[in-house]
Structure 1
Amino acid sequence: MEDVAKRAGVSRALVSLVMNDSPKVSPARRAAVLAAARELGYRPDLNARNLAQRRTHTLGVLLNDIHNPFFTETVDGLDVAARAAGQRLLILHGARDPEREREAVETFLQLRVEGLVLVGTRIAPDDIDEIAAATPIVLVASGEASGVDTVVTDDRLGAAFVVEHLVRLGHRRIAHIDGGRNVSATERRQGYLAAMDAAGLADRAVVATGGDDDSVAAAAVDELLADDDPPTAVFAFNDIVATGVLDRLDDLGLGVPDRVSVVG
């Protein structure tokens, strides 16, 4: 920093103000300091700044699965809100593995993030309580935990909307490929069954064993189509499973939506 001050012809204190983005510096002096820093290849020591301020201005975001488009859209919204609050995002991937997620959380805590957002986490509730004692956290699409802020979708209502939409299109044989052990699977399955019952189609409700990625789709589609009265519409657990359903139907030469309608 001393070299930058000499090159720019200003005080070390003014260089510090510029590097901390202080509004108390004139445009001309700011430009001179930044130009000197570029010429010298100088960058502020972020760790030193964090220690001095006792803040990191960083939020940790743990994604259960970076391949899930819902999670990436969530990050997009988080980034907008974080920037508006003067925070940066540090993102790690849990790869659908609870142990790897716990390791990521430990990394975040060691980096002194100011809060954690756990998106679709598979970390056990007891561990969630322990994490919440160390730093503020929010769970997104991860079920609910006592004493922790959560953001969840109304899966029952969403499933009901799907069934109602398909019924309006004239479908009566509507099947559901469930989400297996996913935290949202039960609510979506129950919402589907309740909506089928409300439409007078309870006797035609069919639930195929599934999961939350496209690897389950082919077997589920084959199971459904083997029925004597196969469905004309499939409500897949999520868009990833729905993509797998589309692929399998294409392999079988069944047009969408001509022969089968698909909803994720």
Structure 2
Amino acid sequence: MTHDRSKTRRPTIYDVAKQAGVSPSLVSLVLQNPVRVSEKRREAVQAAISELGYRPSRAATALASTRTKSVGLVIDDYRNLWFVDLLRGMESVLTKDGYHVLLADSRPGENRISDAVDGLLAMHIDGLVIAAEPSESMLSGAGVPTVVAGWRSGLPAGADLITNDDDAGGAMAADHLLGLGHTRIGHLSGSGGAAAHRRDGFTGRLRGEGIDVLVVGESGGTSEEDGYGSAGWLLDHHPETTAIFAANDTMALGALGAIRERGLAVPSQISVVGYDNSTLAKSRYLELTSVDNRSDVVGADAAATLLERMGNGASAGARKLIEPVLVIRGTTAPPAANPGQ
């Protein structure tokens, strides 16, 4: 039995060159810098590529140039869907310049962030976006242009910072609940820079109005399970609570579970506000009131800043705050709607 290997193997740059009647080096030039090739030859190469179904090898392209056209993104937890809009915003900018994003998860744990970054650096990325708490070893710098997306407890040396104004966002959540008439309010918080800024903005605004807010979980995590546990403790020890502000939408989801287990109704008996305006908040089932941290804008600005750093060696140290927006949905209402008060 004979087998025509030419019909099954992946076409190479040499096949394209033969089909177009040019040299392999000219095909490579068309792929890397087409404006340097005459229109006639460029069209011949592009026609051959289309006819053969040729797909350039990123590895081969990287070997032929000083760049891999790849950017690393480190997030802190796949389960927290805030990063979806961040990634979408980054790609809306980077793909126009032929870059692709390599994603690494660094859920909290010893050396997880260092391992994630080391793995990306081993792939010779051209730049790095950090959307997680940097490790001690990272604070000295990653060795490539780096942008930090979102407030963090520390900032690596030479890194730019693009973040949502979480202090203002926390204040927006407080103003919303105050405007509805709530005065017995709890806050589900956690460790990390973003949670700290949201907490400061929220509690600062309430205390400025003479209201003492109950903060739970300040040194803990910010997962759904953390939200569930913190909300359960709050409701069991302070049943008079009429509103809860969670540090993110994932924690708010856990809080909703704890509220339901205790036979309470949202929002008629207790209001809930999240943060991030993630896909969870937007779902028609939850209809969660949430502060939109505009992750897509943060991602797009982080990518643009990184391109500038990689392209012309722009100096580091940029700081940019993105203004948040409160999105009111069905999980908040005045406390007067509570028949038990």
Asked whether the two chains share a fold, i.e. TM above 0.5, the reply is: yes
Task: Give the equivalent residue in structure 1 for 2:165.
Answer: 154
Q: Which residue, out of 66, 83, 89, partners 2:95?
A: 83
Cα distance per residue 1:127-163 (max 9 Å; x no partner): 23141xx111111123442542112333322211111
Q: Secondary structure at the match of 2:111?
A: helix
Shift of 1:121: 2.9
TM-score, reference length from structure 2: 0.68
Q: Which residue, out of 86, 108, 114, partners 1:74?
A: 86
Corresponding position: 1:206 with 2:214 = yes
Shift of 1:21: 6.7
Can you give the 5+ residue segments of structure 2 that lack an aligned partner in the other structure?
A: 1-12, 275-341
Distance 1:47 1:213, change over 3 A: same
Report the Cα distance in structure 2 between the residues aligned to 1:77 and 1:21, rounded to whole angstroms.
Answer: 26
Task: Give the equivalent residue in structure 2 for 1:175.
Answer: 186
Report the Cα distance in structure 1 between the residues aligned to 2:158 and 2:255, rounded to whole angstroms.
Answer: 38
Does structure 1 conserve the Cα–Cα contact (< 8 Å) formed by 2:139 and 2:154?
no
Task: Give the equivalent residue in structure 2 for 1:165.
Answer: 176
Shift of 1:31: 4.6
Report the Cα distance in structure 2 between the residues aligned to 1:239 and 1:51, rounded to whole angstroms.
Answer: 43
Task: Give the equivalent residue in structure 1 for 2:147.
Answer: 138
Task: Give the equivalent residue in structure 1 for 2:265.
Answer: 255
| Identity value in percent | 31
Shift of 1:59: 0.9
Task: Give the equivalent residue in structure 1 for 2:298.
Answer: none
Report the Cα distance in structure 2 between the residues aligned to 1:223 and 1:2, rounded to whole angstroms.
Answer: 67
TM-score, reference length from structure 1: 0.85
Task: Give the equivalent residue in structure 1 for 2:325.
Answer: none
* Amino acid corresponding to residue 187 of structure 1 in structure 2: H
Q: Secondary structure at the match of 2:48?
A: helix
Q: Secondary structure at the match of 1:226?
A: helix
Distance 1:37 1:216, change over 3 A: same
Distance 1:22 1:233, change over 3 A: same
Shift of 1:234: 0.3
Q: Secondary structure at the match of 1:69?
A: coil
Shift of 1:98: 4.8
Shift of 1:3: 3.0
Shift of 1:10: 4.0
Equivalenced residue count is 255
Q: Which residue, out of 29, 52, 55, partners 1:37?
A: 52
| Structure with more contact order per residue of length (Cα contacts < 8 Å, sep ≥ 6) | 2
Shift of 1:30: 3.9
Task: Give the equivalent residue in structure 1 for 2:252.
Answer: 242
Cα distance per residue 1:184-209 (max 9 Å; x no partner): 3333333222211222213xx21122
Shift of 1:103: 1.9
Q: Secondary structure at the match of 1:259?
A: coil
Cα distance per residue 1:44-87 (max 9 Å; x no partner): 34323222221111111111112222222111111112123332
Shift of 1:255: 1.1
Shift of 1:233: 0.4
Report the Cα distance in structure 1 between the residues aligned to 2:113 and 2:206, rounded to whole angstroms.
Answer: 37
Can you give the 5+ residue segments of structure 1 that lack an aligned partner in the other structure?
A: none
* Amino acid corresponding to residue 68 of structure 2 in structure 1: T
Report the Cα distance in structure 1 between the residues aligned to 2:211 and 2:186, rounded to whole angstroms.
Answer: 11
Distance 1:113 1:196, change over 3 A: same
Task: Give the equivalent residue in structure 2 for 1:217.
Answer: 227
Report the Cα distance in structure 1 between the residues aligned to 2:24 and 2:141, rounded to whole angstroms.
Answer: 43
Report the Cα distance in structure 2 between the residues aligned to 1:92 and 1:228, rounded to whole angstroms.
Answer: 40
Report the Cα distance in structure 1 between the residues aligned to 2:180 and 2:206, rounded to whole angstroms.
Answer: 14
Cα-Cα RMSD: 2.4
Shift of 1:229: 5.3
